[in-house]
Amino acid sequence: MKTSELLLNDANLIAISADEKGHIKYVSAAVEKISGYKTENLLGDLWWENTYCNKKDGLAFKQNVIKILSNKSPINGKVYERRMLCKDGSCRWIEWRDSLGANNNFVSVGVDISDWKKKEEHKIQSEAILKNIPSIVLVSNKNGEIIFVSPSIEKILGYTANEVLGRNWWQKVFLSKNKAEDAKEAINNYIFSNKGSYLDIFKQKLKTKEGLDKWIEWQYSKGVNDTYISIGSDITDRILQDFELKKAKEAAEESVQVKNEFLANMSHEIRTPLNAVIGFTDLLLETTLTTEQRQHLETMHTSGEILLTLINNVLDLSKLESNKFEIEKTSFNLKRTLNEVVKLMRVKAQEKGISLDLIINSNTPSEVVSDSNRISQILLNLIGNAIKFTDKGGVTITVVKIEENDKIATISFEIKDTGIGIVSNKINSVFGAFTQAKNDTSRIYGGTGLGLTIVKKLINLLNGEIKVESVFGKGSTFTMVLPLKIGEKNSSKINAEKSKEEVNDKNLGYSILLVEDNKTNQLLAKTRLQRWNCTVDIADNGFEGVKKTQQQLYDIIMMDIQMPVMDGYEATKIIKNDISEEVSKIPIIAMTAFTSKTEIKRALEAGMDDYIFKPFKPDELFKILKKYGDHPKIIEPTMKNEVKRSYKHINLEFLEKETLNESTVLVLLIELFFKDLKAYMQLLDEKVKLKKWQDLYKETHKIKPSISMFGITKLEPIVFSLEQKFKEEIDLEDVDSLVKKGKSIIVNVKKELKIELKSLRE
C-alpha cells in the first residue's frame, strides 16, 4: 500500500476518483469506515446511486463530472458541504473539495465533519433557546459574581448580558444596595448552606434599565464547580393582575360594606320613631279605652310590629348576603324552645280558629348545641306562614330524629298545613327574594316574600336543608333537616320559671338614670319606668350622664349608644373607671337599636353590663331591670347623702374627723380654701414674673398646711419644692414647669371639691 493511501485511511479522508465517463474508479478505504459500504460496492455508478441522499442529485453531479472532464464546464475548486448517505440509512456531513487528477481524472476529497457539525448545531440551538426563552438564566459563582447571563435578559430587563455580568447584576437591577446584599446573602445561604427558606428568595422586585419595576420569580439549582443556576420568569403582569383583582375585590367588599352600613343606619333611623309608635301604643293600650279606640290602637300596634319585622328582615338579608351573619353555638333545650315557639304562635292559630299541634318524637334529644335564636326564627317563619295560609284544618309540627352519628343527631322538623297550597310551577321559586306564589298574595295575606329567603339562607348556615311539597288547594309541607350536636343536660328550667314569676310583680322602685338624647324615647321610657315606681333622672347625652353619676348613686343606668357630645361607649368607660368604686359598680344597660354583634361586643367591652334592643318589649325591659336592680348595694339608697366618695385628687378624711362630720363647717372650710387657692394662684402668676421670690416663699408657706389638710397628696411635693426654691432662691429655672404641673392638679382638685360641696349642701 502506498504511503499516501495509508495516510488517507488513517486520517479518515474520503477520496474518490472518476474517469471521463463519470464512473468511479477509486474509493479510499476510509469510506468503508464512514459509510458502511465495502469499497467495491461503490465503484462504477454505484457511488452516485448509493451515497447521495437524493439519487437525482448524484446522477446530475455525475453528468457535471463528465462535462468537466470533456472541458465543457469549469471545475469548482471551492470547499462545499454535502451529506453522504450511509449503508444504515443515516446521513453524515462531509466537507468536499474537487480537483482534477494527474491522469485527467476527477478527484473528490472529503472530510467527515458530522461531529463538529452536531456540536455547532447544538450551540446554535442553545443560543437560540437562551435568546428566546421568556426567562432569565443566570449562572453565579460562590462569590456572588454572575458568570453567565442569557441574552433573553435584554427583553425582560433591558440590559445586555454584558452589562450585568460580574457584580454589576447586584448593583444595577436591585432597588437598593441593601436589598441586593440581603438577596445575595439569602440565596448563597439557601444554595450552599441549606439555610433559610425558598419562600424568602423566590420572588424579587427588580428594576429595568428604564427604571420600571418588574417582578421576577426564580427557580434555583446547583451548577458545576460551586456555581448555581437561577432561572427567573417575569411575573409582573400576574402580580399586577392580582393587585387589580385585589383592588376590585376590596372595592366590591367596600360597596357591600357601604350598603350594609346604609341599611344598618336606615334601620336605626326607622326603628327610633317606630320604637315610639309601638311603645306609646303599648302604654295607651294599658289605659281605659272605648272598644273603638282599642281596636284602632291594636291595628296601629300590629302595623308597627309588621313594619319592624320588615326592617329586621331587610337587615338580616343584607347581613346574610354579605356573610356578616354570626351563628352562635350554645347548649339549649330543644324541646323547650319548640314549645315556646308553638306557644307564641298558638294565639295566631286560635284567632284563625285552626289547630296547631306539636309532636316531638321521643327519640329527639332534649339538649342540643346550636343557635337557638336562629332555629326559633326559622320555625316562627315557617309556622307563621303555615298559619297565615291556612283557613281551615290546621298546622302540625312533627319533630323526629332520623339519624345519629358521633353525637350528631340529624333532626327533621316537618311543618304540615291544610292551607291553600302552592301551584306546582311556583313551588321552586318560593325561596327566592321578594317572591310570592301568587301575585295577589301580598294584597290578601300581606308579607313581602323575604321570609323564606332568609329561612333558606339561615338553614344553609346551620348546614341543614329545606324542601317543600305542596298540593294546590290542599296544603303544604315544609321539611327542614338539621344536623345538631347533642349537648349536656342543664338546669335552665328553674331559671325560666323563676323569671316568669318575677315579671308579674310590677313594682320595682329603683332609681334609674336614663341617658338618651331622643326626647320621644326619653318620655316613653320615663313613663314606662314610672309605672313600675322607679324614679327616673334624664341626661341628654353621655357627658350629662357622667355628671349626674358624680352627684347621685343610681341603682341602674340605662345608656343609649349613639348620642351627640359624648356617646354611650365613652360615657360608660368614664363611669366604670374614673369616678369612684361605688359608681363603677352601678349596672349599665345599653339600649341599642342595632342588632349587630360588633355593636354589642363594643358595648360590653366599654364596660356595659347588658343590653336591650329598642324598641324594647315591656316584659323584656322588666326582666332586665329586675335582674340588675336587685344587685347587693354597697350603700342603701336612703343613706346616699352620706356616701363617702372616693376621690382621686383629694382626701377629706382628716377634715371630716376634725369637724366631726359637720357638713356646714366642712362647706365653710371648702369655700375658704377655694378663696385662698384662687388668691394664691393669682399671686403666683404675678410675683413669678416680677421675681419676688421672698413674697412667694411667704405665700407658699401659708398655703402649705391647707394642701395637707385637704389630702392633696399629689400637690404636696410640688408645693414643698417650690417653698424651698423661693426661700433659698436656688434652681429657680424649674419654677415654671412646677407651677404648670401644680395648676393641672388644681383643676382636678377644684372639680372634686365642687362635687363634694354640692353633695354636702344637699
The residues that touch ligand ADP, with contacts defined as CB under 6 A, are 385-386, 389, 417, 419-422, 430, 435-438, 441, 447-453, 476
141 by Cβ neighbours in 10 Å (0-12 / 13-18 / 19+) ranks as middle
Q: Please provide residue 474's backbone torsions phi and psi, each rounded to the nearest 5 degrees.
A: -115, -30
The least distance separating ligand ADP from the CB of residue 421, rounded to whole angstroms, comes to 6
Cβ distance 665 to 655 under 8 Å? no
The least distance separating ligand ADP from the CB of residue 475, rounded to whole angstroms, comes to 7
Q: What angle do CA 340, 346, 347 make, to 5 degrees?
A: 115
The least distance separating ligand ADP from the CB of residue 429, rounded to whole angstroms, comes to 8
Separation CA 703–CA 677 (nearest Å):
8
The least distance separating ligand ADP from the CB of residue 328, rounded to whole angstroms, comes to 23
The least distance separating ligand ADP from the CB of residue 442, rounded to whole angstroms, comes to 6
Measured from the CB atom, the residue of 389 and 594 that comes closer to ligand ADP is 389
The least distance separating ligand ADP from the CB of residue 375, rounded to whole angstroms, comes to 17
The least distance separating ligand ADP from the CB of residue 515, rounded to whole angstroms, comes to 37
609 by Cβ neighbours in 10 Å (0-12 / 13-18 / 19+) ranks as buried
Element (H, E) at 300: helix 291-321
SS3 418: coil
The least distance separating ligand ADP from the CB of residue 381, rounded to whole angstroms, comes to 6
Pairing, β 203-207 against β 146-149: unpaired
Measured from the CB atom, the residue of 451 and 711 that comes closer to ligand ADP is 451
Separation CA 457–CA 114 (nearest Å):
75
Measured from the CB atom, the residue of 267 and 518 that comes closer to ligand ADP is 267
Measured from the CB atom, the residue of 201 and 437 that comes closer to ligand ADP is 437
253-262: long-range contacts (C-beta < 8 A, 24 or more apart)? 256/321, 256/322, 257/322, 259/318, 259/322, 260/318, 260/319, 260/322, 260/324
Measured from the CB atom, the residue of 419 and 568 that comes closer to ligand ADP is 419
The least distance separating ligand ADP from the CB of residue 303, rounded to whole angstroms, comes to 15
Measured from the CB atom, the residue of 430 and 546 that comes closer to ligand ADP is 430
Please identify which residue in the block is written with the cell numbers 418588574: 214
Separation CA 239–CA 231 (nearest Å):
18
CA atoms within 13 A on the CB side of 496: 9
The least distance separating ligand ADP from the CB of residue 385, rounded to whole angstroms, comes to 4
198 secondary structure, DSSP code? H
Separation CA 661–CA 481 (nearest Å):
71
Cell of 385: 306562614
The least distance separating ligand ADP from the CB of residue 398, rounded to whole angstroms, comes to 15
Measured from the CB atom, the residue of 267 and 385 that comes closer to ligand ADP is 385
The least distance separating ligand ADP from the CB of residue 311, rounded to whole angstroms, comes to 14
Three-state SS annotation for 301-361: HHHHHHHHHHHHHHHHHHHHHCCCCCCCCEEEEHHHHHHHHHHHHHHHHHHHCCEEEEEEC
Measured from the CB atom, the residue of 87 and 474 that comes closer to ligand ADP is 474
Measured from the CB atom, the residue of 359 and 732 that comes closer to ligand ADP is 359
Separation CA 434–CA 451 (nearest Å):
9
429 secondary structure, DSSP code? G
Measured from the CB atom, the residue of 94 and 387 that comes closer to ligand ADP is 387
Measured from the CB atom, the residue of 358 and 422 that comes closer to ligand ADP is 422
Q: Which residue of this chain has its Cβ atom nearest to ligand ADP in the complex?
A: 447
Per DSSP, the residues of 666-707 read HHHHHHHHHHHHHHHHHHHHHHHHHT-HHHHHHHHHHHHHHH
Q: Is the peptide bond before 615 cis (omega within 30 degrees of 0)?
A: yes
Write the single-letter amino acid at 486. Answer: I
Measured from the CB atom, the residue of 71 and 439 that comes closer to ligand ADP is 439
Measured from the CB atom, the residue of 395 and 591 that comes closer to ligand ADP is 395
Separation CA 564–CA 544 (nearest Å):
11
The least distance separating ligand ADP from the CB of residue 427, rounded to whole angstroms, comes to 9
Separation CA 86–CA 343 (nearest Å):
102
Measured from the CB atom, the residue of 434 and 654 that comes closer to ligand ADP is 434
Measured from the CB atom, the residue of 452 and 735 that comes closer to ligand ADP is 452
Q: Where are the alpha helices (DSSP H) in 371-471?
A: 372-388, 441-445, 451-461
Cβ distance 568 to 560 under 8 Å? yes
Task: Please provide the size of the chain in residues.
Answer: 762
Pairing, β 465-471 against β 394-405: unpaired
Element (H, E) at 436: none
The least distance separating ligand ADP from the CB of residue 281, rounded to whole angstroms, comes to 23
The least distance separating ligand ADP from the CB of residue 292, rounded to whole angstroms, comes to 30
Element (H, E) at 754: helix 735-761
